[in-house]
Amino acid sequence: THWRILKEVAAHGRQPRSSRAADGMNRRSTTLSVALGTFGFVASHVLAALQILQLTNDPLGVGMTTMDAVGADPMKCTNFDAGAMVRDVAIFVIWGLQHSGMARPIVKEWIGTLGSVEERGVYACGAIAAWGLLLFAWQPVQTCTAWHVRRTPVYRILAGLAMVAWGLTTSLGIMYLLPDHVYGVKGDYNDPSREKKLIYRWPYNMIRHPASGGWLFIAWGFAVLSMSLNHALWATGWTAYILLGTILEEQGLRAEFGPAYDHYSRQVPAFCPSLGYIAGQRPVQPTKRELASFSR
């Protein structure tokens, strides 16, 4: 055993300098990928908590920005601030450009992450920065009233909380079930030895876009709870981004997976589970022979 180890050490010492340098760069890239992915994973939890505080108008009083104008002077309030609306729409545009733009291969190639192990981690960190901007730069459009749960009818509380709970289950669920798929935390994202396949496990066997679908339910769940103009604008902004972003994302998925994605999309809806899924039906992954027949 000792002799074998000595031989391996000697063989490593005879490696060309360029090969040893490449190995060192690969190790550093893997370490960076793990660090970026871990940061994105932790930061997502922090921002998710702050997002809930914002949407509920900071009931704990921690100083978070609020969806509505809490404690505004009734003599100086406004029912519609056009400047605030322009600002909020601009923030959503920035978010959309980051979230959809950085997912495009041409942008990945330009910033140097296309095909690298850091690709997913860099994207996640960019998304964290854009999400932070969306949180802290928000301005209420209507400042005369602020929603509070104590003034909300029970039926709206139940309906809104059910929507929010479902949205959190699907959007945050993939963070725990598929952390490498979302953040690249294992450091081997884009490893050429790993075959890329469509994911048929939960929640992707239920809806094609669990994160986007989850945020739709969260956004409109709070709109149902509050019935405020500010929450409605926030939900509308998310809806517009998600619908446009999904069109671009599905174009890329069809280009990457071809007939396999067409087969998958025919079985699985985009954002909301089908009645068939609720009844117990699950999508079936096609065999290689079936995939070949799709291409004919």
Confirm whether 278 is domain-assigned.
Answer: yes
Confirm whether 24 is domain-assigned.
Answer: no
- Estimate to the nearest angstrom the gap between the alpha carbon of 89 and the chain centroid: 19
Given a cut of 90, whether residue 114 has pLDDT beyond it is no
Confirm whether 20 is domain-assigned.
Answer: no
Full-model pTM: 0.83
58 or 176: which leads in pLDDT: 58
Confirm whether 5 is domain-assigned.
Answer: no
Confirm whether 18 is domain-assigned.
Answer: no
Segment 32-60, tens digit of pLDDT? 778 888 898 999 999 999 999 999 999 98
108 or 92: which leads in pLDDT: 92
**What's the rounded mean pLDDT across residues 182-208?**
74
Given a cut of 90, whether residue 272 has pLDDT beyond it is yes
Domain that holds residue 157: 30-295
Confirm whether 188 is domain-assigned.
Answer: yes
Mean of per-residue pLDDT scores for the chain = 84
1 or 82: which leads in pLDDT: 82
Residue 227: CB atoms within 10 Å: 13
How many domains are there within the chain? 1
| Per-residue model confidence (pLDDT) at position 131 | 95
DSSP string across 111-171: HT-TTSTTHHHHHHHHHHHHHHHHHHT---S--S----GGGS-HHHHHHHHHHHHHHHHHH
Residue 218: CB atoms within 10 Å: 26
**What's the rounded mean pLDDT across residues 243-262?**
91
| Per-residue model confidence (pLDDT) at position 15 | 47
Residue 64 region, left (φ>0) first, then alpha (ψ -120 to 50), else beta? beta
| Per-residue model confidence (pLDDT) at position 185 | 63
Which pLDDT band, with edges at 50, 70 and 90, does 157 fall under? very high
Q: Give which of 46, 70, 47, 72 is closest to 59, Cα–Cα.
A: 70
Distance CA 173, CA 78 (A): 39
Distance CA 79, CA 72 (A): 12
Q: Could you give the percent of the chain with pLDDT greater than 90?
A: 46
251 or 295: which leads in pLDDT: 251
75 or 236: which leads in pLDDT: 236
| Per-residue model confidence (pLDDT) at position 7 | 38
49 or 182: which leads in pLDDT: 49
Given a cut of 90, whether residue 209 has pLDDT beyond it is yes
Given a cut of 60, whether residue 3 has pLDDT beyond it is no
- Lowest-pLDDT range of 112-126, 158-172, 175-189: 175-189
Confirm whether 1 is domain-assigned.
Answer: no
Confirm whether 61 is domain-assigned.
Answer: yes
Tokens describing residue 230: 């500010």
| Per-residue model confidence (pLDDT) at position 139 | 94
